[in-house]
Amino acid sequence: DGGITQSPKYLFRKEGQNVTLSCEQNLNHDAMYWYRQDPGQGLRLIYYSQIVNDFQKGDIAEGYSVSREKKESFPLTVTSAQKNPTAFYLCASTLGRQGWDGYTFGSGTRLTVV
Amino acid sequence: EDQVTQSPEALRLQEGESSSLNCSYTVSGLRGLFWYRQDPGKGPEFLFTLYSAGEEKEKERLKATLTKKESFLHITAPKPEDSATYLCAVQGSSNTGKLIFGQGTTLQVKP
C-alpha cells in the first residue's frame, strides 16, 4: 500500500543535541511538508518542498533544517537552536506541487526533550 | 491575514445525539477547505474537500457544508467510534501548498 512513513514514532532529545526525523513516501507525490502540532494549537508549517533539491521556510522554520535529495524523502533535523522542540511532528505530501489536492499525512513522531 | 477558528473546542454528545462543528475562516481567494479527523497519537485522516460556497459532501454520518465565511461538519446520530479531534483547514490562492489549520474540535461520544 502507498503511504507516508515517519520514524521513529517516539524520540527523546537531550539538551544541545541535534536529532533527525525521517519521512518517506511511496505515493510519487511531488510536494512534501513538515508541520508541528502543540496541544490546543493548530498545525503550524515548518518547511515545505515542491521539487527535489528545493525547499522553502514555513511560519516557524527557526531551529529546524531540511533536505530534499530524493523525491520520496524529506527528513527534518531539529537543531539545538530550537528552544522548545517538544511537540508532535507531522509529515505530509501532495500529488501536485501546488498542494490543491489536499494532504496525505504520516502517523507522526512525538519528540520529547529530556 | 488568513485565519481559521473552530468551535467549540470540545464537545460531548450522547450516542445518537446529532450536532454540528463550526469552522469560521478568513482567507484571500479560497482554493479549498479541508476537513480531517485525527485520533490520539496519529496523523490526520482526510475526510472532505469543499471548493465553493453552497457545496456539500457526505460520508456515512458526516456531512460538510460551506458558505463564504464558514463551514459546518454535521454529525448525525453519532456513535462512540466517531470520537476524535476534527480539524478544519483552508488553502488560499496566495499560499502555495500551505494549509492554515484551526485548533480543532475534540468530540467525545458516550454510549
Return the C-alpha cell found at B7: 468551535
pLDDT of residue A96: 77
**Spatial distance between the Cα atoms of B64 and A50, rounded to a whole number of angstroms:** 29
Q: Tally C-beta pairs within 8 A across A and B.
A: 66
Average pLDDT over residues B74-100: 91
Q: Does B100 contact A at CB distance below 8 Å? A: yes
Question: In the predicted model, what is the mean pLDDT of residues B81-108?
Answer: 91
CA distance A99 to chain B (A): 4
- DSSP category for residue B83: -
Contacts of A5 in chain B (CB under 8 A): none
Tell me whether residues B44 and A107 touch, CB distance under 8 A: no
Q: Specify the pLDDT at position A16.
A: 86
Question: What confidence tens digit (pLDDT) does each residue in A85-113 have?
Answer: 999 999 999 987 776 678 999 999 999 98
- In the prediction, which pLDDT does B38 show? 97
Contact call for A103 and B31, based on CB within 8 A: no
Question: Mean pLDDT for chain A?
Answer: 93
pLDDT at A1 over 70: no
Contacts of residue A50 in chain B, CB cutoff 8 Å? 96-97
- Nearest chain A Cα distance for residue B35, angstroms: 10
pLDDT digits (tens, 9 = 90+) for A19-36: 999 999 999 999 999 999
pLDDT at B47: 95
Q: What's the pLDDT tens digit per position in A26-80?
A: 999 999 999 999 988 889 999 999 999 999 999 999 999 999 999 999 999 999 8
Decide which of A87 and B97 is more confident: A87
Closest residue of chain A to B43, computed from CA coordinates: A107
Out of A4, A45, A102, closest to residue B34 by CB: A102
Q: Considering only CA atoms, which of A95, A65, A91 is closest in space to residue A80? A: A65
Are the C-beta atoms of residues B69 and B24 closer than 8 Å to each other? yes
pLDDT of amino acid A88: 97
Q: pLDDT value at position A2? A: 75
CB contact under 8 A, B96 and A41: no
Mean pLDDT to the nearest integer, B24-39: 94
Cα B31 to chain centroid, rounded: 16
